[in-house]
Amino acid sequence: MAIADLPLADTLARPLRDLRISVTDRCQFRCTYCMPREVFGRDFAFLPREQLLTFEELTRLAQVFVGLGVRKLRLTGGEPLLRRDLEKLVSMLARIDGIQDIALTTNGALLAGKAQALTAAGLRRVTVSLDSLDDAVFTALNDAGFPVARVLDAIAAAAGAGLAPVKVNMVVRRGVNQESILPMAAHFRGSGHVLRFIEFMDVGTTNGWRLEEVVPAAEIISLIGGQWPLEAVVPAYPGEVASRYRYLDGAGEIGVIASVTQPFCRGCTRARLSADGKLYTCLFAGTGHDLRGPLRAGASDQALREQVAAIWTRRTDRYSEQRTRQTSRTQQQKPKVEMSHIGG
């Protein structure tokens, strides 16, 4: 029996179902929780072009992962729409037998001009990051002077291109943008889009994470529910990372992603491929596994499948379950892959 025919699972019986593909480590924004300008400044050395996987290489690796059980793909960055002609990659990926869903996570800066082409190429869903409706708060967070209105225009363009409902992600950081929770909820209620609140996470080592700045998901739900009553929604599929709630008045739903206070490691089915071809089995990993080297050295599809299978079946990651105040401080002093490198 071939590896592709076996139900691939890691040491905690978690299957491989989702692959997040970073297509670039570059971004126009300098969000303080992801790419703070004091680290990712003018002299920061991003990946040179020759180190990036080509669209053909990305497609081939995606096919390898599909042979091991992956059914959903998400394109990330950095900012993925900075990768020229990304719709060509979407079209190539959409032709892979077995792929059920292709999604994109973006800051929205280039989305309005690309939405139609991406949809035509086979993109199914889009997630747009927006951390406040207050321009002063939002521009301080993105540290690029990018206004809220242009992100809202991008969301509207995506919906108009057939990518509705759009998911809107808001990272919440105490003392920074928690006052924007209710205005964001009010704006997206009844819009047909799904607003998701994300707890500030200790990804990488450069974002200055402190546990005291985490606004727990339970606090967010209590705040919104006090204004507009909510009820929990049953997960749509095994391994869904967002806990979902619907408004009792029928005005739609929201989600919370509580990696810090309500870890979901036991249901994690995600692998992450960096733009330079490294496989990461956890968002909080310190090192990745090189796939570009064997790929460019002429490894067969079967050899690549065996390599990925060996990595996944040895997987033990459950960082968020093991996180404590002390371990978080310790981990911040150790090398950890930055969110901008593997797309969150």
Q: What is the dihedral of CA 57, 59, 61, 62, to 10 degrees?
A: 160
Residue whose C-alpha is closest to residue 73's, from 91, 52, 53, 48: 91
Element (H, E) at 128: strand 125-129
Q: Which residue has the higher pLDDT, 73 or 262?
A: 73
Instruction: Render 257-319 in DSSP notation, one character per residue.
Output: E-TTTS--GGG--EEEE-TTSEEESSTT-S--EE-HHHHHTT--HHHHHHHHHHHHHT----H
pLDDT digits (tens, 9 = 90+) for 309-332: 999 999 998 877 676 555 555 555
Q: Is 217 left (phi over 0), alpha (psi -120 to 50) or beta?
A: alpha
Listed in sequence order, the residues at least 6 apart from 123 whose beta carbon sits closer than 8 Å to its beta carbon are: 87, 90, 102, 103, 104, 163
pLDDT digits (tens, 9 = 90+) for 189-227: 999 999 999 999 876 666 667 878 999 999 999 999 999
Confidence of residue 263 (pLDDT cuts 50, 70, 90): confident
pLDDT digits (tens, 9 = 90+) for 57-73: 999 999 999 999 999 99
Q: Which residue has the higher pLDDT, 83 or 333?
A: 83
Predicted confidence (pLDDT) at residue 141 exceeds the cutoff of 80: yes
Q: Can you give the pLDDT at residue 1?
A: 35
Q: What single-letter DSSP state applies at residue 166? A: P
Predicted confidence (pLDDT) at residue 111 exceeds the cutoff of 90: yes
Element (H, E) at 16: none
Calpha distance 147→80 (Å, rounded): 19
Calpha distance 18→24 (Å, rounded): 19
Cβ-contact 312, 68 below 8 angstroms? yes
**One-letter identity of residue 13:** A
Q: Can you give the pLDDT at residue 77?
A: 94
Calpha distance 20→338 (Å, rounded): 14
**Least confident interval from 83-92, 113-122, 207-216:** 207-216
Mean pLDDT, rounded, of the chain? 91
Q: In the chain, pLDDT over 90 holds for what percent of residues?
A: 77
Q: Can you give the pLDDT at residue 4?
A: 47
| Domains of the chain as residue ranges with CATH | 12-342 (3.20.20.70)
Confidence of residue 2 (pLDDT cuts 50, 70, 90): very low
Q: Can you give the pLDDT at residue 314?
A: 96
Instruction: Render 76-118 in DSSP notation, one character per residue.
Output: ESS-GGGSTTHHHHHHHHHTSTT--EEEEEE-STTHHHHHHHH
Predicted confidence (pLDDT) at residue 128 exceeds the cutoff of 90: yes
Calpha distance 312→9 (Å, rounded): 7
Calpha distance 218→321 (Å, rounded): 17
**Tokens read off for 153:** 């225009």
pLDDT digits (tens, 9 = 90+) for 279-292: 999 888 888 999 99
pLDDT digits (tens, 9 = 90+) for 3-40: 445 579 999 999 999 999 999 999 999 988 888 899 89
